[in-house]
Structure 1
Amino acid sequence: MSKRVLIIGAGGVGQVVAHKCAMNSHIFGEITLASRTKSKCDAIARQIEQMHGRTIRTAALDADDVSQTVKLINEVQPDLVMNIALPYQDLPIMDACLETGVDYMDTANYEPKDTAKFEYSWQWNYAERFEQKGIMALLGSGFDPGVTNVFTAYGAKHYFDQLTQLDIIDVNGGDHGKPFATNFNPEINIREVTAPCRHYENGSVVETPAMTMSREFTCPENVGRYTIYRMYHEELESLTRHYPQLQKAQFWMSFSDNYLKHLEVLQNVGMTRIDEVDFNGQKIVPLQFLKAVLPEPSSLGPDTKGKTCIGTVLKGLKDGKEREVYIYNLCDHQDAYREVRSQAISYTTGVPAMIGAKMMLEKHWHKPGVWNMEQFDPDPFMDELMVHGLPWKVRE
């Protein structure tokens, strides 16, 4: 039986989610796409009608306003609210779902607007209320977090008796031809990259300055060799919680010298600040101004060429012997653009969001409370990745 969903957020990832849901009408029978800027929703709706012959509804919504979201949920009557908006809006949307008794999911954990700090504690604190209400929240159903959590759970289930080390490696081998641009929301991207690095070692959190640890990594299948930098990413928090036997857990991402040089200059001149400054009698946040002048990530699709390579390197013990396994996905930017008019960064986040929703709506994953991806059986999700555009491989 097809279901009704409300998708909040019409950026690059929201566009992919709307397309992929529309392409699976046997599950997603009625789709409403809402955003602060309704014209963005309308543009995506026109794309979907032209490419897939489906009509979706659109709505204007300020997701910071709980009452507005409650009103829209009551009008739409969805089976699931898919939060593809900004991390700042996670808690208001969760509040609206609690008030209306509707299941919730997102792709990234909560982050306060005024502090560059993202962690799960705020959302985990909702667990008892969601359980009492009899509704479910699925956190971080993107790629990283999301698929990387499921890769870890799949590896732990099928390849290891005990996991001892986890390295999540995110390489974007694509080139958009711009002097400087971010592949997803510039504000979130720059806050994430400039934050102090944290990794887990022997049961403790180790903090180091941002971007100070790097190494070379060769991607499989001739994608290339890249410099990857250790940084903090939210899935480490949940994975070390649910796999306490991990002795070491790290996250790595590739960056070009060009990107890092631009970022260094922007930091030095104060353009990455998230506090307000006075400008011509007005208060502005430099990073938000920078976001306004940088290329919109959703506009990068036509020109981006190359592939992403994202996966997990797992080390541990099997039958008393040491083992190392690499589970990964390659995604081609141009293939993604042809299918949904977005580059692979948005695609690799949007497709798992649709699959996570499918898991919930079909009750493969459904339990009252607040949950991370690795807390469910990974097998059905891994099967869906193969079907919906993100095939994976395992290398010993």
Structure 2
Amino acid sequence: MTIRSPLLLLIPLLLHNTAVDAADVYEAGSVRVQLAVIAKNLEHPWSLTFLPDGSQLVTERAGRLRVIRDGTLVREAVTGLPELAVAGQGGLLDVILHPEFDDNQTLFLSYAHRNSNSMTTRVAKARFDGKDLSNVEVIFEALPRGKTTRHFAGRMVFDPEGHLYISVGDRGEKDRAQNTRDDAGGVHRIKINGEPAPGNPFLNNSDVNDSFFTYGNRNIQGMTLHPKTGEVWSHEHGPRGGDEVNIIRAGNDYGWPKVTYGIAYSGVPISSKTTMAGVTDPLYYWDPSIAPSGMAFYTGDLFPEWQGDLFVGALKMRKLVRLSLDGENVTNAEDLLTGLNERIRDVRMGPKGALWLLTDSAKGKVYRMTPAK
């Protein structure tokens, strides 16, 4: 009989969970960067947020919420998650903290949910004690439900007034994005108790659900606040072409599917128009599609040449895109990290000037990007 010591039994566990110290160097335009792997072997990680103590929370679309503490992925997943469904593009999606998390330890999760009437996008709030969730409460549910497993969207952001913005995709049924009695295909703005936010543009309109802030949005998978104006910027997937960057403004119709720069996956045209009266044109679009996901303005000091630039991850084209801005005008688009050859799912501005990236795969990674030494 071979007897293994407790220390030897522990070594594989430590190797699996400990962060990788080595960092690969890449040319990012005129800037040399290094990417350090902070965590790996995550099952389709979808979102990342930063806790006040310097730890990180990461969602896995497969239905787990994970903690990275002191540069190490905690083996045990957070317990107490709401009931959710993992199917197609659905699962556990975004995680963000309450603006006063230090005082109330409240966070918010978006996710797919299934019942006998099929699937939808839900948002729940919960209290997080560093290990477990408690006091879980569903505060938003997109209705009616749909039978597809596509286009749940799920990105969230708080505005400076503390209202929560939630993107809901068209669920792969494009005409739903123009039906304002149907929660699909738009951005909703609510209070943290789930009620429609005061000042929502359609509160007195019986033809539009009260939580709607915008509509005509196909599938927003990136939302962030502009660091100076406080406005919500977003991007959304087009079909074959027509990915868009937009500013989310009250009451606007972003046109899907009445106008688009893309065509159907079958090659059939969707619309003969790329603009029309009453529709908000994108600030920028991609054709062909890059399948954007994740979005962050750079506001740190480590890369002074990137100050104020907008960063977008790309799933299909496997790259990070840097958009230079002059106000609301995109003056240049630069492709970065093409040599990484990873589907970039999320992009986050870190608390110490680094950019953080999630890669979308069955063995996804969390990267921290800093200037090369």
Query: TM-score, with normalisation over the residues of structure 2?
Result: 0.33
Greater RCO (CA < 8 Å, at least 6 residues apart): 1
Higher helix proportion: 1
Q: Which has the higher strand share?
A: 2
